[in-house]
Amino acid sequence: MSKLEEVSVLITKGKAKLIGAAVQEALDDGCEATAVLDTMIDAMGVVGEQFKNNEIFVPEMLVAARAMKKGVEVLKPHLSGGSASVAGKVIIGTVAGDLHDIGKNLVAMMIESAGFEVIDLGVDVPADKFVEAVRENPDVKIVGLSALLTTTMPAMKNTVEVLNAADFRGSIKVMVGGAPITQEFADEIGADAYTADAASAAQKAKELAA
Ligand code: B1M
């Protein structure tokens, strides 16, 4: 089995204690950090398919998520560009009712690597908390919202509506993303930008803050 295959299996099986060493071995073997990350993201996709087909259940999804987090910890120094310039402040969070944070954490990490200071509000963040955070940080340039469930898309819509109604709206840009989100949905709810993955989120953040 190749090192990348091993990483993939350890994620799908949720082996949090073993994944760190396997990721390190893949890197030592010459694998690009981005290739290891793509392998881990694909493995989470496999976990999602297995869940959808009732082959595994929430506890297995949870252990896979833990393994993913451990793997990302080892990868992080290899993915971050360590940009010295400060591009501005970004507030990010997963919307109310939604507990998924792996994708949001990756977006935060890539945006940080692009030179931004990131204020991460975590998961299950009510709309008012985003507003409060912008008020506490009037120099913030971008607010990023993540949602992974079709059932929390309305919470994303509500959050964008609340942000759009705020007096500071002219000075911030709102970015949205997450597996069920589309450009069409982003346009419909009045967000400034949608991106499909963490790397393009960081690129878009740079464009919006320029
Ligand atoms: Co959940 N879950 N989950 N889950 N889970 C999904 C999302 C699901 C698709 C699985 C499936 O059925 N195939 C399904 C949603 C179905 C739907 O809504 N249509 C689902 C479900 C149903 C549920 C529960 C309802 C299950 C239950 O309890 N019966 C429950 C809901 C809990 C809640 O949130 N209230 C639930 C719970 C969980 C766990 C807690 C067990 C765990 C999350 C742990 C954690 O995050 N800490 C979990 C997991 C792990 C998954 C899957 C398997 C993996 C998600 C993930 O981390 N993907 C997922 C299946 C799947 O995605 N295929 C699934 C990897 C990650 C890197 O990708 O998050 O998409 P992603 O992020 C990408 C892009 O989307 C984008 O960039 C990221 C990196 O490139 N992106 C942005 C994300 N945010 C962005 C923001 C941006 C820009 C881009 O700008 C700001």
CATH number for 37:
1.10.1240.10
Q: Please give the pLDDT value at position 112.
A: 87
pLDDT at 154: 98
Count of domains observed in the chain: 2
Centroid of ligand 1 to alpha carbon of 167 (angstroms): 32
For CA atoms 37, 39, 45, 51, the dihedral sign is: negative
**Containing structural domain, residue 49:** 3-82
CA of 102 to the centre of ligand 1 (A): 8
Token pair belonging to 36: 């290891």
Domain shared by 70 and 106, yes or no: no
Give, using CA atoms, the residue closest to atom 21 of ligand 1.
149
- Mapping DSSP to helix (H, G, I), strand (E, B) and coil, where does residue 6 land? helix
Do residue 119 and residue 200 come from a single domain? Answer: yes
Residue 83: is its pLDDT beyond 60?
Answer: no
Closest-CA residue, ligand 1 atom 45, reads 100
For residue 44, the CA-to-ligand 1 centroid distance in Å is: 9
CA of 60 to the centre of ligand 1 (A): 13
Domain boundary pick from 39, 61, 82: 82
Regarding whether 127 and 64 lie in a shared domain, the answer is: no
pTM of the model: 0.94
**pLDDT at residue 84, rounded to an integer:** 53
Q: What is the pLDDT of residues 8-43, one digit of tens each?
A: 999 999 999 999 999 999 999 999 999 999 999 999
Q: Same domain for 104 and 176?
A: yes
pLDDT tens digit sequence for 87-114: 899 999 999 999 999 999 999 988 987 8
Q: For the chain, what is the mean pLDDT?
A: 94
41 lines ligand 1 (CB under 6 A): yes
Q: Where is the domain boundary, 16, 51, 82?
A: 82
**In angstroms, rounded to a whole number, what is the distance separating the alpha carbons of residues 71 and 40?**
8
Helix axes 16-28, 3-12, angle to 10 degrees: 160
